[in-house]
Amino acid sequence: MTLMAIAAIALTAIALPCLPWLLRLLGAHDESYRVALSFLWIVLPSNVLMAVGMGLSGVLRAVGDARRAMFVTLGGGIVTAGLDPLLIFWAGLGPDGAAWAIVVSRVIIVATGLYGAIRVHDMIARPSLAGLRQDTGRAMTIAGPAILTNLSNPIANAVFASIFSRFRDGAVAALAIMDRLVPVAFGVLFALTGAVGPILAQNWGAGRFDRMRGGLTASAVFAIGCVVVSGLALALARGPIVAAFGATGLTAELVMFFCLVAGPMWLFVGLLFVANAAFNNLGMPFLSTLFSWGRATLGTMPLAWLGAQYGGPKGALVGSAIGAVAFGILALVFAYRGIARLEREATGRAPLASTPDAAIVPVDAATDRAAAGG
| pLDDT value, residue 330 | 93
Question: Which pTM was predicted?
Answer: 0.68
In 3-state terms the chain splits into helix, strand, coil percentages (rounded to 5) of: 90, 0, 10
Within 10 angstroms of residue 170's Cβ, the number of other Cβ atoms is: 19
β-sheet bridge partners, residue 358: 355
Q: CA separation (Å) from 177 to 59, 84, 187, 232, 298? A: 32, 11, 15, 18, 25
Residue closest to 282 by CA, chosen among 239, 233, 231, 341: 341
| pLDDT value, residue 43 | 93
Residue-wise DSSP of 185-220: HHHHHHHHHHHHHHHHHHHHHTT-HHHHHHHHHHHH
Residue burial 266-292, b: 16+ Cβ < 10 Å; e: rest = bbbbbbbbbbbbbbbbbebbebbbbbb
| pLDDT value, residue 358 | 41
Q: At what angle do helices 168-205 and 47-62 cross, to 10 degrees?
A: 20
| pLDDT value, residue 106 | 92
Q: What is the distance between the terminal CA atoms of the chain, rounded to a whole angstrom?
A: 48
| pLDDT value, residue 44 | 92
- pLDDT of the chain along its 374 residues, tens only? 788 888 889 989 998 999 898 888 777 777 778 888 999 999 999 999 998 988 888 888 778 787 788 788 888 888 888 888 888 888 888 888 889 999 999 999 999 989 988 888 888 878 778 777 777 777 777 677 777 777 777 888 888 888 887 887 788 888 888 988 888 888 888 778 777 887 888 888 888 888 889 989 999 999 999 999 999 999 999 999 998 888 888 899 999 999 998 888 888 988 998 998 888 888 887 888 888 888 888 888 888 889 899 888 899 989 888 888 889 999 999 999 999 998 888 887 755 544 444 444 444 444 444 444 44
| pLDDT value, residue 351 | 57
| Cα separation, 247 vs 243, whole angstroms | 6
| pLDDT value, residue 331 | 92
| pLDDT value, residue 361 | 43
Contacts of 321 (CB under 8 A, 6+ apart): 261, 264, 265
